[in-house]
Amino acid sequence: MINQSDIERRYLAIKEQAEKSGYHLNPDEDFAKELVHGILTNEERYGFAACPCRLCVGPREENLDIICPCDYRDQDITEFGVCYCALYVSKDVAAGITPVSYIPDRRAPPGKCDSGDPKQTEVPEDEKSSLLQEGRPLLYPVFRCRVCGYLCARTSPPETCPICGAASDRFEKYLQ
């Protein structure tokens, strides 16, 4: 049985981890805690913290991409200001400057092929091992924080550098 103090404890742990890395939770605390309740329910049910807003079928290995925080969070925050559940939001949404909006699910439906999202595209093993070959692009570009030199491989730079706190426009494309 999940009780209120389990939810509070997990909510605080998630919030602390988010803030230390430059992420923000939905400013509507009751809404956020409802989602945390859903995460805890999934953890009891499946044995892992599956996204509370998505259908989870199969074992952990087949659902790694939707364990919260999911593989789609950061790109959704960049493009829409919120993740699919709206548990995580952009700085502007957190500050109440931009309203929360509802967004499409970036994950391909089970059994369907995904439309070109590199996170879903299966890369053949021999290609993976030759990523450094001339002329072959990387799976994701590497961004570099011009302030502290932090490197990360993502669709676009993070909203806030998790190391030094610099804003996304302080990043440059370093490798692609």
Tokens of residue 170, six digits = 């302080």
* DSSP, res 160: B
Q: How far is the CB of 14 from its own copies (least distance, A)?
A: 9
For 112, other C-beta atoms within 10 Å of its C-beta total: 9
Per-residue interface string for the shown chain with its own copies, residues 146-165, x marking contact by CB under 8 A: xxxxxxxxx---x---xxxx
121 lies in the site for its own copies, by CB under 8 A? no
Q: How far is the CB of 135 from its own copies (least distance, A)?
A: 8
Residues 6+ away with beta carbon under 8 Å from 133: none
Cα–Cα dist 89/164, whole Å: 20
94 lies in the site for its own copies, by CB under 8 A? no
Instruction: Select 4 or 107, whichever has its Cβ closest to its own copies.
Output: 107
Q: Quick one: which of 46, 105, 119, 120 contacts its own copies (CB under 8 A)?
A: 119
22-51: contacts with its own copies (CB under 8 A): 23
Decide if 115 contacts 148 (C-beta within 8 A).
no
Amino acid, single-letter form, for residue 139: L
Cα–Cα dist 42/48, whole Å: 7
CA distances from 80 to 77, 108, 112 (A): 5, 18, 24
Instruction: Select 30 or 175, whichever has its Cβ closest to its own copies.
Output: 175
Q: How far is the CB of 114 from its own copies (least distance, A)?
A: 14
Decide if 143 contacts 150 (C-beta within 8 A).
no
Tokens of residue 161, six digits = 């550098």
Instruction: Select 20 or 112, whichever has its Cβ closest to its own copies.
Output: 20
Q: Quick one: which of 5, 30, 61, 99 contacts its own copies (CB under 8 A)?
A: 61
114 lies in the site for its own copies, by CB under 8 A? no
Binding site for its own copies (CB under 8 A): 17, 20-21, 23, 60-61, 64-65, 67, 69-71, 73-74, 119, 128-129, 131-134, 138-140, 142-144, 146-154, 158, 162-167, 169-170, 173-176
